Amino acid sequence: MINFKKLFYLLIGSVYIPDELLHTSEQTLLHISDTPANFFSVLNFLISKLKPDYIVHTGDLVDNIKLEIYPYRLEEYKKKVPQLIHLLENSSAKKIYLALGNHDDKKIVNNITERAQIIEKSDIISLEDLEIKITHFPDEIRKSSSQYNLFGHDLTINSKIEDEKIYLNGILGINIILLKSKRIFTLPYPYGTDDSRLGKFKIGF
């Protein structure tokens, strides 16, 4: 039944949230990355249901607009990125961390953020008793890693546990960490998210 629910939510463009996450008493961290604009409404739904204590976005805030490749789309980015910042900063999260990606504009993001902490390349934060490295770029993790490592950017790099360190790629799935028990849940992005990231049209049913 749960697998059917997961598939149903996936196909209708939403995300199935396990009851365990909806009813947990633990503090939670939500990790996302490389988010196209058509994911924003789903993200708003996720945040309203999960009420995460911490939110980490590991870059490419409007990933369907590839600024590094198409800098002429800056005005479009300027219109879309405030939608994401607004929903993140209007959440009940205690802290919000934004790691800038290669398709982000530092000046625009700096001008519109009020309470989110912006990370330009990489940074290490401490939450509860967890040490967490945050970056958009996997190469920053390769240089030096931490207890937990959150990144995005590259679809070919799998999340893994290695040498008692945890590596979570936020482009492959929506990661939720329960900070006390240290349990990790990974929820699939809605159907069509990768197509949106690549600038393709979603095929409907």
Q: Of 190, 158, 163, 156, which is closest to residue 174 (Cα–Cα)? A: 190
Inter-residue contact 21 to 28 (CB < 8 Å): yes
What is the domain partition of the chain in residue ranges? 2-197
Instruction: Dump pLDDT digits (tens) for 147-157.
Output: 999 999 999 99
Question: What span, in angstroms and rounded, lies between the C-alpha atoms of 91 and 97?
Answer: 13
Structure tokens at 42: 């789903």
At the topology level, CATH places domain 2-197 in Purple Acid Phosphatase; chain A, domain 2 (3.60.21)
Instruction: Dump pLDDT digits (tens) for 42-66.
Output: 999 999 999 999 999 999 999 999 9
Instruction: Dump pLDDT digits (tens) for 96-148.
Output: 999 999 999 999 999 999 999 999 999 999 998 899 999 999 999 999 999 99
Q: Residue 164, by phi and psi: left (phi above 0), alpha (psi -120 to 50) or beta?
A: left
| 3-class state of residue 204 by DSSP | coil
Q: Is the dihedral of CA 141, 173, 38, 85 positive or negative?
A: negative
